[in-house]
Amino acid sequence: AYEAKLAAFEARIAAGERIEPGDWMPEAYRKQLIRMISQHAHSEVVGMLPEGEWIGRAPSLRRKLILIAKVQDEAGHGQYLYHAAETLGATREEMTEALLTGRAKYSSVFNYPTLTWADVGMIGWLVDGAAIKNQTMLARCSYGPYSRAMVRICTEETFHHKQGKEMVIRYAQGTPKQRQMAQDALDRWWWPSLMMLGPHDSDSPNTPQLVKWGIKTKTNDEVRQEFIAEHAPELQEAGLVIPDPELRQNPDGTWHHGPIDWDEFWRVVRGDGICNKARLEAKNRAHDEGRWVREALQAYSERGRAQAA
Ligand code: BYC
């Protein structure tokens, strides 16, 4: 009976149908989705921290408004994604606990520090740019709630990407000091942005199963190629130098890049990046400081229930 159900499930995916909450699915499909969607949600909320640090130091009111809106959007993305994971049976409490205790993964890229204001622009251009490539691929995912969340999120990230690009291009064409800040930010964010898209395909144990079930519709290296193909020419046109002397376009149009430091990547993923400790401390502090809000909501809903009864 299991074989027949599995065959019917795989036939639906092959036909391009979406799997919805409550539909039959193999346990491994459910587990893979909970793993990926919860890590994605954690990335959104931890991703608020590096840019959030600059809200109080934005150089103008206009930039401050944009940054507040962006950081707030990331919180919203976390909400959509936690809800998508909840449709698979994961609880918010379990996911939060896994994040706060350091058991859960979140994107490596948010363990790097934002040293200058130009980093805020560079994150918008490169990190949101990489996220859009990855999420456009995931918008075609076979699981309905995840794919629909991606469509909405990509629309908002397109605004994030544009504000970052506009800011960096301005600095790249500004005073020598501004140009230096933009170049320095590129030097520090280029490689982490490439790593964000996941390990090399030969070292990506989840990809075969995810691609087979239509969860991922492209491999990590395919998405990385798309990211470089869009961003490398635009960064160069802005007058910036990509910190990879080997980077060049092949005659077939694909891009050749220098070696990615995978040792650094795995160190950061395993918790030993520059900011891993600070990020977890910040999330734990926020959780503790928000306890009274959760308690007040709980008391309010209990009172409502008692009154209704
Ligand atoms: N960082 O088999 P693989 C944003 C882990 S936020 C940490 O290739 P998979 C934004 C991976 O989990 C958007 N860990 O995995 C927010 C796996 O470990 P487990 C962030 C990583 O799933 C605020 C192991 O390495 N986007 O845009 O096939 C401000 C082997 O990897 C990373 C997402 O979260 C990494 N970079 O592919 C601004 C995208 N890469 O779980 C912007 C959603 C890999 O087996 N996730 N690992 O223990 C995905 O699309 C996929 O999970 C990945 C990895 C492409 C990341």
Block residue for tokens 């251009």: 125
Q: Is 127 in the pocket of ligand 1 (CB under 6 A)?
A: yes
Backbone conformation region of residue 41, classed left if phi is above 0, alpha if psi is from -120 to 50, else beta: alpha
Rounded CA-CA distance 131/62 in Å is 24
pLDDT for residue 15: 96
CB 186, CB 242: distance < 8 Å: yes
Instruction: Enter the pTM of the model.
Output: 0.97
CB 35, CB 205: distance < 8 Å: no
pLDDT for residue 294: 95
pLDDT for residue 84: 98
User: Shortest CA distance to 214 belongs to which of 21, 25, 1, 3?
Assistant: 25
What CATH class does 2-308 carry? mainly alpha
Ranges assigned E (strand) in 55-197: none
Backbone conformation region of residue 166, classed left if phi is above 0, alpha if psi is from -120 to 50, else beta: alpha
pLDDT for residue 199: 98
Q: Is 108 in the pocket of ligand 1 (CB under 6 A)?
A: yes
Q: Which atom of ligand 1 is nearest to the CA of 35?
A: 41
pLDDT for residue 31: 98
pLDDT for residue 7: 97
pLDDT for residue 151: 96
Residue nearest to atom 12 of ligand 1 (CA): 105
303 class by beta-carbon count within 10 Å (0-12 exposed, 13-18 middle, 19+ buried):
exposed
pLDDT for residue 283: 98
Q: Is 119 in the pocket of ligand 1 (CB under 6 A)?
A: no
pLDDT for residue 253: 93
pLDDT for residue 21: 97
Q: Is 32 in the pocket of ligand 1 (CB under 6 A)?
A: no
| Residue spans per domain, the chain | 2-308
Residue nearest to atom 51 of ligand 1 (CA): 36
pLDDT for residue 234: 98
pLDDT for residue 160: 98
Q: Is 136 in the pocket of ligand 1 (CB under 6 A)?
A: no
Rounded CA-CA distance 183/127 in Å is 16
29: tokens are: 């499909």
**For the segment 188-215, what is each residue's pLDDT rounded down to a tens digit?**
999 999 999 999 999 999 999 999 999 9
Series of mean pLDDT values for 10-residue runs along the chain (309 residues): 96 97 97 98 98 97 98 97 98 97 98 98 98 98 98 96 98 97 98 98 98 97 98 98 98 96 98 98 98 97 95
**Any idea of the CA torsion for 300, 302, 304, 307, to the nearest 10 degrees?**
-130
Q: Which atom of ligand 1 is nearest to the CA of 130?
A: 27
- Spatial neighbors of 122 by CB under 8 A, at least 6 apart, are 164, 168, 182, 185, 186, 188, 189
Q: Are strands 248-249 and 255-256 parallel, antiparallel or unpaired?
A: antiparallel
